[in-house]
Amino acid sequence: MSDDHDDSPIAARVRELEAVLEEKGLLDPVELDQVLEAFAHRSSPANGFRVAARAWIDSGFEKRLLEDANSALPELGLSMGGGLQPQRLQVVANTESVHNVIVCTLCSCYPLSLLGPSPTWYKSPAYRSKVVSHPREVLRQFGFTLPDDIEIQVWDATAESRYMVLPRRPANTEHLTEDELVKLVTRNGLIGTAPV
């Protein structure tokens, strides 16, 4: 078996489906390859870093992002695209009193185009089952201890709805440029398992 050939039953079914769609003229295989390749190349946490940094320096963008993320992303040349069904993105902002964390308790739904491929722990049963009931404890395992007076809100993704956390802008960063702010953001910060 070659390395790039997936013999799993689901892969076989996808190939069958592709063949039927091509036969019926509903799917252009070249176009499909181009779309998937472009999507894979564009999916990176660097996109999420840019979104957070822009929201920190531009309150108008922040407002539009929190109100309707899908409409605001194109301002940075980004989108939730890629999938066959449109995914609604909701960006949830951390505040002085509320900290947000994202999870998919059912499987592993994740804002791929903004954060790149999800980390293994995000898909683990341990994280998925525990972060809802014991979020503070889970965050502590990431070395992130939140003061008791900060409420933790956990957002459970679905196939249609994805979430991304907007971390709070770190203190004493007023002098930094947008490009410098981009470097402060981490993937875990956008998931909520790190402060920034």
Q: How far is CA 11 from the centre of its chain?
A: 25
Query: What's the min distance (Å) between Cβ of 108 and Fe ion?
Result: 5
Query: What's the min distance (Å) between Cβ of 19 and Fe ion?
Result: 27
* Among 19, 40, 107, 126, interactor with Fe ion by CB under 5 A: 107
**Do 164 and 51 contact (CB within 8 A), yes or no?**
yes
Stretch that binds Fe ion, among 24-32, 91-99, 107-115, 184-192 (CB under 5 A): 107-115
Stretch that binds Fe ion, among 57-65, 105-113, 114-122, 139-147 (CB under 5 A): 105-113
Host H or E run for residue 165: strand 161-166
Interhelix angle 59-67/45-57, rounded to 10 degrees, is 120
**Do 84 and 14 contact (CB within 8 A), yes or no?**
no
Instruction: Kindly state whether residue 40 participates in binding Fe ion, applying the rule CB under 5 A.
Output: no
* Among 109, 139, 164, 165, interactor with Fe ion by CB under 5 A: 109
What string of DSSP letters covers 42-108? H--HHHHHHHHHHHHH-HHHHHHHHH-HHHHGGGGT--S-SSSSPPEEEEEE--SSEEEEEE-SSS-
Query: What's the min distance (Å) between Cβ of 189 and Fe ion?
Result: 21
What residues are annotated to the active site?
104, 107-109
Q: Which of 92/102 has CB closer to Fe ion? A: 102
* Among 104, 115, 164, 191, interactor with Fe ion by CB under 5 A: 104
- What is the binding site for Fe ion (CB under 5 A)? 104, 106-109
